[in-house]
A and B are shown apart, each in its own frame.
Chain A
Amino acid sequence: MATVYINDKAVDIGDKKLNLVQAAELAGVTIPHYCYHPALSVVASCRMCLVEVGEKKPDGTVVMQPRVIPACQTPAKDNTVIQTATAKSKSAQAQTLESILLNHPLDCPVCDKAGECKLQDYSYNYGNSESRMVDEKNTPPNKPDLGNNISLFTDRCIMCSRCVRFTREISGTAELHVVNRGVVDLCPVGALASKDFLYTHRVWNLKTQDSVCAGCSTGCSIHLDTNKNVVYRLRPRENPNAQGYFMCDDGRLGYHYVNSSNRISKPHMKSESGADLSSWKDILPTLRAELNAVALKNPAGIAVMLSPFLTVEEGFLLATFIKSISHKSKLVLGPVPVIGEDDHYPKTRSSVAPQVKFTIRNEKCPNKKGIEQIIKHFEGDVIHVADYLSKNTPEALFIAAGYQGEEVSWFDNNLLELFKKVKLLITQDLFPSALTDVSKYVIPSAAFSEKEGTFVNFAGLAQELHWACVPLKQVRTDGQVYLDLLERKGLLQAANIRDEIAKSIPYFSKLAGGKLESNGVHLENIS
């Protein structure tokens, strides 16, 4: 047990190994810092976190060290005393800020970082209001194309070296002073800018929602930044249970399909008479009636494909609906997109494998595990759609696709031919395709940014999605569609469904009550 005194407030830090920045955080005191980052090595070079440090002696007296000390470099020990607001500490912080800003261009009006910039925040809280330097500022040349995705505004850089350490310690790629691997969030100032976001929006207009990246089965926790129903940017959200502090470029930049104008924007049903239906009011009862008719004729004639992009709640609701039509209906798993192999970081040239700090998984879907558990619960085992269709041809097939992404088709020609053998095709997806062309019913899917629910990542971590945008006018979220098909009243409340699932499927029992911590819950026992 160790007690640390921060601005005269005693905080018990237990036996945790903390530095003084972290210890102060526990006491609710912010010690300003730039170069320190919890995922990177400590260099103590920005000198922003200078504070007065001392020790409380057994007789109760406090002996302060004569010089200011960088908090990030100093371990918190029993009886450590920190003073962050004394004249000496404040003066050291103000001096450092003055130094940092000497050559900074102060071009906040055209800087993307404005509004979420540590230079602005700290200047306001700890700095002086004006510079005493009358001499010309240094103007190092900018490097607008530092990489495909990053622009470097050299003059704004404060040399904290976070990005350099990232490329050495996390990605292991060690580009000298060069970063092209998605570390713009690391930059505490506006030096590294995401080209994707550059000059698109002022950050104070953005609304931020906690979410989960749907790009691969790592399931990075993210912040989803939107305004007026448009997604502008994804940023990693710190989560030790999921990915840690960072996210990959594929995930970061892989959201554009959400805002695409090609998305299926309304439901549609082809009729033989040519009088096509395109309103929910007409289509859902017709669809239900048609499925009932199939079940009446052949109880085993209906199959449902659940894609690994559905949320757990969606999978559960659709399965419940289809089993209510006929308990002999078949649930199968949709194609699981896999690209290459798992991509581990840091990279190394040494023969000794380093401790893995980040992995981009080859399984490019967010919820295979969750959907498998749903299918297992209803069917006992998991059959893939291609295997099933190559041996069986159901009368009706409900394809709950919802595959996220516009560029790559999720089915190949072989699978399409198998689909085409089915008489009644109901396809729910984001984008029109050769499959929707041959489907009788085409139902729009919602993007991951528009729905709420649960994803279970590769390791069995259940995390919650929150909606950040509303779908287009005539699009209902997938879960809502199933709820409507089930003729349950009201709007989808993911928490209620989650509780329902927890009660009926043991794998999900930890989700009982429906509430999910922001860092998620491990459904499996991790050794």
Chain B
Amino acid sequence: MAKFEPVLLKRIAKDNSDHIDSYIADGGYLGLKKVLKDMAPAQVIDLVKASGLRGRGGAGFPTGLKWTFLPKDHPGPIYLCINADESEPCTFNNRVLMEKDPHQVLEGIILTSYAVGASKTFIYVRYEYGDAYRSMERAVQQAYDKGLLGKNIQGSSFSLEAVMHKGAAAYICGEETGLIESLEGKRAWPRIKPPFPAIEGAFRKPTIVNNIETVSCVKNIIDLGADWFKSIGIPPDPTNPRDAGSYGPKLYCVSGHVNRPGLVELPMGISVRELITEHGGGVWKNRKAKGVIPGGNSMGFMTEAELDTKLDFNGPGKVGCLGLGTGAVTVFDDQTSIVDVLYNICRFFAHESCGQCTPCREGTAWMFKIIDRIRKGHGRIEDLNILEEVGNQIGTMPGTTICGLADGAGWPVKNAIRKYRNEFESYIKNGDKKVRTLNLQMSHH
């Protein structure tokens, strides 16, 4: 197989890759100009639909289909919210795109706005992303100066205003309705659905929420065509009627116990093992992997034996993970205690639960208290059953919460208990060196 040439990351190593002049010199905004001249919005939507593009934010919802949920003949305004609140741990693909090639992102945003008929776009950037925010802000200003944003873009009848918005520094702001609430200046408590944002979103107007990587893909589909996009990746799994296929290039973040952590662009559907060995330089210190988090903390775990799983929208689910997530692969080696790993994850979700729904607010905090106690050497075997039960009962899938954060908080817990139960039991029964040290430290206080 010929070596895959990056598309989304093609320009990131160049000098001044974030400047509009360099972007235009590389052929940037030509696609936009062509679309404004020759294509109707409906044609853009059809093109994106034909490409099979699915949202890169985590849930993998078909992008073109999402756009068609907007009410027909709405008097407007229609809004496009760009979700750049990239807060899934170990995920940094949006950040690199915004910092190194903001105009690619912006062209995607303008194209998407044109397709859905949005007159205003809100670019909601994670609070911690200072550089990315400034880079996007500069890009927006440069685009205004060149007449690529504002009234009657490039002499067409299409006008678009872009508004930069700094996020509220919470994980929940990445949930699309939490993001909208936060954008409106409220506490980011996810909304109850229906109505979905496409019907009633930001400021009670129809709103599309798309991810940074998704709109970057839109830009490249315009330039290279739906057939190009569909030639990459893997077709639908015939055994899974709900799988719409996983097409196009994907940005994979590799982190954790590998020799060469970083961001790589690859065709959708590479196996975890290949990603780690070929692109992450293998597990560090010549150790073996104990497990992998396939796409952000909320996706659960893959064991060493499951590493041949393909990282497409359908693959991780086959081994009991929640899904592909953000494509951020985190490796932990065989010297790592699974108790520590789960402790960290539970701490994260207990901290980030927005507190709105009872099962999630109380459940995440309870799970953290239990794993904390186990880690300190006071665990009981029945705690594992409670953890698994709580992990199973919170979330939108059983129907007990408003948003999917709880599904993501419960998944790694039940995955960990199921896949590493022996280690937990042994830890509870025998403790380990770390526990003794910890208890010793505590007795000195």
- Residues on A lying within 8 angstroms of B by beta carbon are 42-48, 50, 65, 67-70, 73, 92, 95-96, 99-100, 102-103, 132-136, 138, 158-159
Contact = CB atoms under 8 A, between A and B. Distances in A.
Q: What are the nearest 10 A-B pairs in CB distance?
A: A67-B399, A99-B362, A135-B369, A68-B399, A45-B356, A44-B192, A99-B358, A102-B362, A47-B358, A45-B357
Contacts of A50: 399-400
Given A47-B357, A102-B362, A135-B370, A69 B399 contact: yes
B389 to A, nearest CB: 9
A307 B363 CA distance: 60
Interface string B372-408: 1100000010000010000001001111111000000
Contacts of A42: 192
Interface string B193-214: 0000000000000000000000
A230 to B, nearest CB: 38
Nearest to A135: B369
Given A99-B363, A135-B373, A46 B399 contact: no
B400 A95 contact: yes
Nearest to A69: B399
B120 interface: no
A70 B189 CA distance: 17
Nearest to A104: B362
Contacts of A102: 362, 365-366
B359 interface: yes
Interface in B79-101: none
22 contacts: A45-B189, A45-B357, A46-B358, A47-B359, A48-B358, A67-B396, A67-B397, A92-B398, A95-B400, A96-B400, A99-B359, A99-B362, A100-B362, A102-B362, A103-B362, A134-B373, A134-B380, A135-B366, A135-B372, A135-B373, A159-B355, A159-B358
A92 B400 contact: yes
A46 B356 CA distance: 8
Interface residues of B, number: 26
A143 B396 CA distance: 34
Contacts of A135: 366, 369-370, 372-373
A454 B393 CA distance: 54
Given A68-B400, A92-B400, A73 B362 contact: no
Given A45-B358, A100-B362, A132 B400 contact: no
Contacts of B369: 133, 135-136
B370 A96 contact: no
A159 B359 contact: no
B257 interface: no
A31 B362 CA distance: 22
A414 to B, nearest CB: 54
* A100, A132, A136 interface centre (most CB from chain B within 10 Å): A132
B156 to A, nearest CB: 36
Contacts of B356: 43, 45, 159
B387 to A, nearest CB: 11
Contacts of B401: 47
A319 to B, nearest CB: 57
Nearest to A96: B358
Interface in B273-324: none
A67 B398 contact: yes
Contacts of A70: 192
A260 to B, nearest CB: 45
A497 to B, nearest CB: 52
A136 B355 CA distance: 19
Nearest to A97: B358
A47 B393 CA distance: 12
B250 interface: no
Contact of A159 (B192, B361, B365, B380): B361
A50 B399 CA distance: 8
Nearest to B368: A135
Given A42-B192, A135-B373, A159-B355, A92 B399 contact: yes
A50 B393 CA distance: 12
Contacts of B402: 44-45
B332 to A, nearest CB: 26
B353 to A, nearest CB: 11
Interface in B108-142: none
A158 B355 CA distance: 10
A73 B396 CA distance: 14
Contacts of A69: 399
Nearest to A176: B187
A48 B401 CA distance: 11
